Structure 1
Amino acid sequence: MAYQLELSAAQLSVWVAQQLNPLDRSLNIAGYGAIDGPIDGAQFHAALRTVLSEVDALRARFELTGEGLRQVITDSPDWSLTELDFSDSADPLAAAEQWMRADAAAEFDLAAGPLFRWALIKVEPARYLWYQAMHHVIVDGFGLSLITSRVADVYTDLAAGVPVREQPPISLAEVIDEYTRYAAGPDFAADREFWLARLPDPPRVATLASREPSGTSAFIRESTRIAAADVDRLRAVARRLRVPWYSVVIAGVAIYLHRVTGLRDIVLGLPVAARPSPVARRTPAMLTNVAPMCLTVDPVLGFDAVVAAAATELMAAYERQRYPYELLVRELPGLPPGRRQLGPEVNVIAFNGSLTFGGHPSTPYNLCAGPVEDMSINIYDRPDRSGLLIEFDGNAGLYRPEELRSHLDDFVALLRSAE
């Protein structure tokens, strides 16, 4: 039986953005897992059906009712698993990625649903890609990882012929109610005061772009890998300073921006899960937020001081991560409409190294993760300690590929010099 729920602040922001620009496809998120082993299509389809019945967000559509905008959770949307075979192509992976990128740019109907698409793609006799595309209004990156992990577990059990393992109940209604209580309570007010005091004046935004915005939502990507030996040096710096290792990377971003722009006060965007409770951490949904990170780069004090400040800022951001950034922007004094408020976003992502489908390991790949206003720097940390994958996603209206590549190479050189 269908039922209605209010929207989280993150969902409302995405829904409004889509209404303001109906042709914008940057609010689609997509990726795939490369599975090194044969996959049974019928069992995979059954695993997806099971997870679809468990995850409210996958069955959501959005409707303006007499009580306002609501998400309607249906019993079962009309969907099917697309199965494709590119194994006979000259370059199967390239052909599959071309198809996936085209599909990721296709429209989702927020009012009708479904707001997800799945495909199982054969690229070799014993290698498959599981492609997922969803509208950002129903799920964020954290939520997508929960869905992926659950499908892997269910498929593994079905392939082994054992009962599907149970998981704790997940409830989108409880998560939305949790946020509603937060928004009406003292923690919300305290978080608001903290951020307004932290950002009393409109920040001067640090950017690496050499051009003015053109209004596009498309992005370009340059990527590279840092070898394990270089990552070990970064971790050694973190151990010496007794801070999380990713504080070193974030400090490196701030220092690089200072060197290029000359600005001492750097405000970065930190994507945060905004999931303080156990139920929120196990419920696929769209809850993610962006927390401002304010760092002062003083060349006299040196690298260690910026790393220590980054660790302190990280702690503050995580403690106050639920206050919606969209609300903060509206209240910043003297901020011109439409002006960017943050520099690049820096997102450190740890992979689940134990993800397997019927005993076959899977490696995740991100195709698109939402709008890129200026630049998004994605740092992927693999648990096998094989090194870091670093992606620079730049707004196509602001950056040329050669500019983005140059910045990426120079940033990696800075990280390699850290000690």
Structure 2
Amino acid sequence: MTLDPQFLQSGNMTQNQLLMYTAQRMSGRKPILNMGMAIEIARELDPQQFRDSFDYVVGKSDALRSVFRFADGGARRMVIEPAELEFELEVLDFSGQPEEAAQWMDQRIRQRINLKKRLFDSALLRIAEDHYIWFLCQHHLICDGISFANVVTHVGNRYAQLEAGDESGFDLPPYSDLVQRDLEYYASDEAAVSREYWERMAEEPLPEFRMYDRGTEDGITDFTRIHRHLDAELVGRIKTAIADETFRAFSQDQGVFLVLLSALILQLRRATGNSVFTVGIPLHNRLTPQEKITIGCFFICSPIRVRYNPDDTFSDLYLQVSKEYRKMLRHYRHPVIAREGERNWDVTFNYVNKTFPDFAGAATKITWLQAGAYMANAFMGTQVHRFNTGGALTVEWDFNLGIFDTPERQETAMRDFEEAIEFGLAGPDAALKEFA
């Protein structure tokens, strides 16, 4: 899609929002961009106080009150008043019925969101006297993973205020500032340089992409999500390899991400037989302390391109991935340019270095929900996060059920990734061709 700053200004939206709005319109009623979290709160709650706290944050957030409507010949993001949302948070009793609560959330997140009326849904599910699950669903147009954590922070802070009898309140930074920030960037010399970078990358056609002998012609809009874990012992070994500079990085977290991304390249090699891979990397795109606490959709997805050489070592692959990632970071703010009719990337790999906060002093436990639908031309998405405290990482595998149509195919993909991690740690100087 061509970048048109004037259209974005009149539409009061970012380029990323325009892309997602277009994708949702093309997908009809499919909930391809519904995002949901089940936020377990280990304490007794006052339901009305919780409602009041949630409503307060909605009233302070222009992102949560955003709707998208077609007017004056184009899509427009509009911020409406709280009363126009016509929403009251439900409180449901599932005491002693955690499985039924999970089924309810699985069904609820699959419901279509009307972009013209309200882009979120929420409910408080009581599981026991001192155990609640806060169900929160938002359309991706108004949120990303960090934004979910920010909502929890702000609602929790307001709840704690009300609990203490403090009516002072607080304001939230506006999301709308991002639109103006992007428009100023697009007019800059920096943006012109980045445009040239993506144009050069687009000159090289991407090879045909098939995973485990299945291609885009097999894709459907039905997806499944499988939760997998990289235990604390494995994550500890990755961190040790970074600390002793087997794999060099600017930070430990960046090193973990780059090791896992390198392992993904090996998995893709085994799955496809290709030698060139393009991976879409979502970046949080929050440049200031204020933006880091703002509710709204900031993320941008940009690709890196990696070339497989069977005689290279895992250390060589890691170094190449690291260099390509650093290059991409210099240009990610400009939208990707692709050849006409060609995909932007093969798969996506999302690493979210964010632990969710407590809620009003109580521990939380997060389960990332999936609505069971996405675009038919997407093969697979991998999200790695540490939303919950502890040394382990959670890996969320989103599989296209037309391509990964059996549990065996899904297991093969996950196992290949985990074996690639072990291969890199066990023999960083071993030739990649040994990973048969």
TM-score by length of 1: 0.89
Report 1:93-242 matches (<5 A): 93-111=98-116, 113-163=117-167, 166=170, 169-204=172-207, 206-212=209-215, 213-214=217-218, 216-239=220-243, 240=245, 241-242=247-248
3-state DSSP of counterpart to 1:69: strand
CA-atom RMSD, angstroms? 2.3
**Residue type at the aligned position of 2:63:** A
User: Which one of 363, 366, 381 corresponds to residue 361 of structure 1?
Assistant: 363
Report how far residue 116 of structure 1 moved.
Answer: 0.7
Task: Kindly indicate whether residue 65 of structure 2 is the aligned counterpart of residue 63 of structure 1.
Answer: no
Mapping 1:3-402, distance limit 5 Å: 6-66=12-72, 68-76=74-82, 77-88=85-96, 92-111=97-116, 113-163=117-167, 166=170, 169-204=172-207, 206-212=209-215, 213-214=217-218, 216-239=220-243, 240=245, 241-243=247-249, 244-325=255-336, 328-329=337-338, 332=339, 335=340, 337=341, 339-353=342-356, 355-368=357-370, 371=374, 373-381=378-386, 384-400=389-405, 401-402=407-408
Match of 1:406 in 2: 412
Residues 207 and 361 of structure 1: is their aligned pair in 2 closer, same or farther, counting only changes over 3 Å? farther
Answer yes or no: is the 8 Å Cα contact 2:219–2:401 preserved in 1: no
| TM superposition shift of 1:56 | 0.2
Instruction: Answer whether contact 1:208 1:257 (CA < 8 A) is retained.
Output: yes
Q: 1:278 to 1:181 in 2, by over 3 A?
A: farther
For 1:39 and 1:164, how far apart are their aligned partners in 2? 21
Q: Which residue of 1 aligns with 2:428?
A: none
CA–CA distance in 1 between the matches of 2:419 and 2:165?
Answer: 50
* Separation in structure 2 between the aligned mates of residue 411 and residue 55 of structure 1, nearest angstrom: 39
- Secondary structure (helix, strand or coil) at the match of 1:97 reads helix
Q: CA offsets per residue over residues 205-241 of structure 1, 9 Å max, x none?
A: 5442533444532211233222212111111222312
Aligned-partner residue type, residue 282 of structure 2: P
- State the one-letter code of the partner of 2:369: L
Give ranges in structure 1 of 5+ residues lacking alignment.
Answer: none
Cα deviations by residue, 1:251-294 (Å, 9 ceiling, x for unpaired): 01001212332222221111112333444433322232211111
Matched-pair identity in %: 23
Instruction: Write the letter of the residue equivalent to 2:90.
Output: T
Q: Note if contact 1:205-1:266 (Cα within 8 Å) is conserved in structure 2.
A: no
When structure 1 is superposed on structure 2, of 114-123 and 63-72 the one drifting more is 63-72
Q: Cα–Cα, structure 1 residues 279 and 190, in superposed 2: closer, same or farther, change >3 Å?
A: farther
Give the unaligned 5+ runs of structure 2. Answer: 1-9, 250-254, 426-436
CA contact (8 A) 1:154 1:165 kept: yes
Counterpart in 1 of 2:3? none
Answer yes or no: is the 8 Å Cα contact 2:303–2:344 preserved in 1.
Answer: no
Q: CA deviation at 1:5?
A: 5.7
Give the stretch that moved more between structures: 258-267 or 30-39.
Answer: 258-267
Write the distance in 2 (CA, Å) between the matches of 1:156 and 1:208. Answer: 49
Query: Match of 1:147, SS?
Result: helix
Residue 247 of structure 1: CA displacement? 0.6
Seen in structure 2, the aligned counterparts of structure 1 residues 84 and 271 have a Cα distance that, compared at 3 Å, is same
Alignment size in residue pairs = 402
Secondary structure of 1:358's partner? Answer: coil
